[in-house]
Structure 1
């Protein structure tokens, strides 16, 4: 087990280093002079040269990357070119909103998708199973931006049930307000703002989890140990929840870890559609402005989050299925 954990930690570090190298390379392969983009065509050659020196663009690429890695290790991502603030400060201001949205989307995907999968597996080929299959297919097929605009049209503009943009005060700060001041008003408003973008973002993952739970559970319920549990006179509920479900959920654990990356990628689009003030929307803004330090810092943070979640999921999978570490 210890060897497996060490090996996975090393793999995670290699992946993060690879992401840093790839991001650095791609940013520097973008055509055009960053100094000219920042200062404009009216700048003088002396001003351009001074800015290139400030951004270290006059140094060889390997030296630039080495200096960048040194700063990253120290937690220094530099300053945003256009916002004139430290990159780390900008990321930390927006990160809670993205974490809140991603966790809510994952919670919806796991709970709704899991329930749909369990009911479909216990009633295969029923009307519920057929409807669930249609919803799952729609969730996989619909792009996030199209589903988001459709949700805004129906639930915000037509029915006027939920707000179409913004975050409100935020669920996390609102919870703090509830416990410290006893004021629950902002919490309800923040949840109303969260429901629509979280549901849209989690639709794809919900569909994947629902179909995987169904197929995995259908496979497990026909195994010998489940038949033995039934032969002992246990109820179907006891057989399902005490014996079949735990083993059926083992493959789902790895898929949940992979879906975190999908959700963070989808958050870039969802945050733009719903004007959600997270790092995904900040990334779109940084790319459009060619704010290279901010782009590099955001990509690193996203890659770090995905890598750490996948590491935690892998360790949980080993705990549920120790044979993986043994192999």
Structure 2
């Protein structure tokens, strides 16, 4: 089991290294001169030189790449020279000095995602820390909706197998998996937030926190969570519904179910006490994968509904070419995706020793 865990962790580190490499070269080579992006259209040659020196843009791409890895690494090397890009200012980062070699300090620190181009030098980690919790709340809410409604629809489909209700649910599930999230978001915002606003009292746009009109600070507006959570949960809901139906039908054909029927147990009791629990395994497997992908899939949903999460921040950063925010957000999402999948793999290996021996 230990070897299995180490193998999975090794694959995770290689995958993350590949993601970081692709992200760096994609957003360093293609967009153009990052110094000009930071200064705008009225820069001078002196200003460009200062910015390039400060952020290391005056170095070859290979040197910039090594420095970027150094910034992200937990174990990193930093110059003692204040004029060097790798100089570690005291108190600026959460770092612990291990030892020094000549003019270089070797430290353990938190990953440094650099500073935003457009937010007056605000650290990317601070931007992500402010927005990621909102995205997490949205993703969890969407998963809960998908699980509850999807399982119920799957059970109803089995109860009315091959009937009108069953076919209608399958049709809706197919549509749910086919329609893009951004299109569903526009439709839901227009219908429930505009046309039916007087009945639903839901807003077309709005985030988790709203500012009080009388200057009493912020307050939580839970109703703004309903529409984006429903829209984000449509696709996993459709998948859960289909998986639940197929899994439940398969379980109902098992011998112990036939025995229960022969004993005269009511059909709903058979489903409730015997078939339902054993039918949830593929559903749980699917949900574990969907939750990680939702963090990335929330981008357009958040932007359309004005939900102040990481997805909306990524779109805003793309519009303003705020490359450090884009790169940092993608790396954080990729890391969460990898961590969740590795955790699920380890749980599977623990539950089924055959997997860990493969």
The TM-score normalised by the length of structure 1 is 0.87
The residue aligned with 1:92 is: 129
The residue aligned with 1:140 is: 177
Q: 1:201·1:270 contact (CA, 8 Å) conserved in 2?
A: yes
Superposed CA deviations along residues 283-314 of structure 1, whole A, max 9, x for unmatched, are: 11112222222111111111122122222333
- CA shift for structure 1 position 322: 4.5
Q: 2:19·2:331 contact (CA, 8 Å) conserved in 1?
A: yes
Unaligned runs of 5+ in 2: 75-109, 211-218
Alignment of 1:65-76 (within 5 A): 65-72=65-72, 73=74, 74-76=110-112
Superposed CA deviations along residues 124-171 of structure 1, whole A, max 9, x for unmatched, are: 11222112112112211222121111111111111111122112438x
**Structure 1's 224 and 323: CA in aligned 2 closer, same or farther, altered over 3 A?**
farther
- CA shift for structure 1 position 52: 1.8
- CA shift for structure 1 position 282: 0.6
Does residue 117 of structure 1 match 2:154? yes
Greater Cα shift, 51-60 or 140-149:
51-60
Inter-partner Cα distance in structure 2 for 1:168 and 1:71: 32
Inter-partner Cα distance in structure 1 for 2:20 and 2:6: 21
The residue aligned with 1:177 is: none
Q: 1:254·1:317 contact (CA, 8 Å) conserved in 2?
A: no
- Which of 310, 317, 324 lines up with 1:286 in the alignment? 317
Does residue 253 of structure 1 match 2:253? no
The residue aligned with 1:165 is: 205
The residue aligned with 1:80 is: 116
**Structure 1's 231 and 321: CA in aligned 2 closer, same or farther, altered over 3 A?**
farther
- CA shift for structure 1 position 85: 0.7
Q: 2:131·2:308 contact (CA, 8 Å) conserved in 1?
A: yes
Does residue 263 of structure 1 match 2:294? yes
- Which of 336, 339, 354 lines up with 1:308 in the alignment? 339
Q: Which is richer in helix?
A: 1
Q: 2:37·2:117 contact (CA, 8 Å) conserved in 1?
A: no
Unaligned runs of 5+ in 1: 171-185
Q: Which is richer in strand?
A: 2
Count of residues paired in the alignment: 310
Inter-partner Cα distance in structure 2 for 1:221 and 1:316: 27
Q: Which has the larger radius of gyration?
A: 2
The residue aligned with 1:181 is: none
**Structure 1's 226 and 324: CA in aligned 2 closer, same or farther, altered over 3 A?**
farther
Inter-partner Cα distance in structure 2 for 1:103 and 1:142: 21
Alignment of 1:185-196 (within 5 A): 190-196=221-227
Inter-partner Cα distance in structure 1 for 2:274 and 2:3: 30
Residue aligned with 1:18, SS:
helix
Residue aligned with 2:209, SS:
coil
Superposed CA deviations along residues 2-21 of structure 1, whole A, max 9, x for unmatched, are: 33333222222222222111
Does residue 156 of structure 1 match 2:193? yes
- CA shift for structure 1 position 320: 5.0
Inter-partner Cα distance in structure 2 for 1:223 and 1:317: 24
